[in-house]
């Protein structure tokens, strides 16, 4: 994992029981996908307003707990902004 993926992994709150149930391997995959979306947002490929939406979609498709997805996406957008 690179530095951005590691930071995003920590922002996923992997120690919370519903999140930890996903397993570390899946959380690393999710972190890599979210890091790619963050790079797109920072490089201008994706408009800033779409970054949060894209991150929530990645979390939802990956099975991340729905009630924790919006706050997690918000933390990530704040981190990369």
pLDDT score at 39: 87
Of 43, 32, 40, which Cα lies nearest the Cα of 3? 32
**DSSP assignments along 39-65, one per residue:** HHHHHTSS-HHHHHHHHHHHHHHTT--
- Mean of the per-residue pLDDT values for the chain? 89
C-alpha span between 66 and 80 (Å, rounded):
22
Domains in the chain, number = 1
pLDDT above 80: residue 35: yes
Task: State the residue range of the domain holding 65.
Answer: 3-80
C-alpha span between 61 and 45 (Å, rounded):
21
Per residue in 36-51, pLDDT (tens digit) is: 988 888 887 877 678 8
pLDDT score at 77: 83
The fraction of the chain above a pLDDT of 90, given in percent, is 56
């Amino acid at each position: 994992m690179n530095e951005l993926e590691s930071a995003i992994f920590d922002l996923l709150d992997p120690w919370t029981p519903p999140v930890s149930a996903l397993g570390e391997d899946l959380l690393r995959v999710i972190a890599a996908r979210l890091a790619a979306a963050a790079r797109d947002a920072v490089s201008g490929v994706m408009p800033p307003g779409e970054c949060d939406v894209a991150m929530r979609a990645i979390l939802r498709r990956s099975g991340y707990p729905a009630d924790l997805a919006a706050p997690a996406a918000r933390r990530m957008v704040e981190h990369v902004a």
